[in-house]
Amino acid sequence: MKILFVCSGNAHRSPLAEALLKKLRPDLTVDSAGIRTPIPISEEARAYLRRQDAEQYLKKTPETLDSKQLKDYDLIVAMQQRHKIAVTIRCPECENKTVVWDIEDPYDMPREDAEKSIRRLKRKSKNLPRPCDPQKSRNSFSQPPRFSPFSLRDRKLGPSPLARQSRHSTLSPSPSHVLNSLLMMRRTI
């Protein structure tokens, strides 16, 4: 499974999430990008990853969203709603596989607030589900799902049952719900 984390400048949240998830979940292919011209990766992110023994997973230089083939990812995690909008402007068909984690940018926050954001990011990364049995999920996600857990129904008729189950937002199901739904759909195809 390929996952892309998206934030503003690929300087703090998304590369940090990428590095943490690479350490926690070597079974996944993880990448990150920013929606605008990248700035250097923050020293705070480097220091945090050093303390977590995950600095070796940190990318060397930030990348922009324009450098990515968005259609190739199975899940795109936007740190804020504006990042999801940037993704869907570039790739309208990616809307159904993009979720929002609502994590504020710790880049210019006081250290205590930044640590809270980073802990939340780590907690959400840990909560991504494990893939199912490799024999059953061979070629998983090689075909697009037949239906989506998100739909126009959310905008017209209210949240779907999947969205109602999400404890994060009625508009954006949690990444674990999305991944579980995708894994279940793949098993039925």
Cβ pair 33, 60 in contact under 8 A: no
Q: What are phi and psi of 65, to 5 degrees?
A: -60, -35
CA 124 – CA 68 distance, rounded (Å):
23
Q: By C-alpha distance, which of 42, 77, 29, 74 is closest to 186?
A: 74
Q: What angle do CA 3, 73, 148 make, to 5 degrees?
A: 100
Which one of the listed residues 46, 82, 105, 132 is annotated catalytic?
Answer: 105
In this structure, the strands spanning 2-7 and 98-100 are unpaired
105 is catalytic: yes
- Give the DSSP letter string of 34-94: ESSS--PPPHHHHHHHHHTT-GGGS-SS--BGGGS-GGG-SEEEESSHHHHHHHHHH-GGG
Which one of the listed residues 7, 31, 91, 186 is annotated catalytic?
Answer: 7
13 is catalytic: yes
Residues known to be catalytic: 7, 13, 105
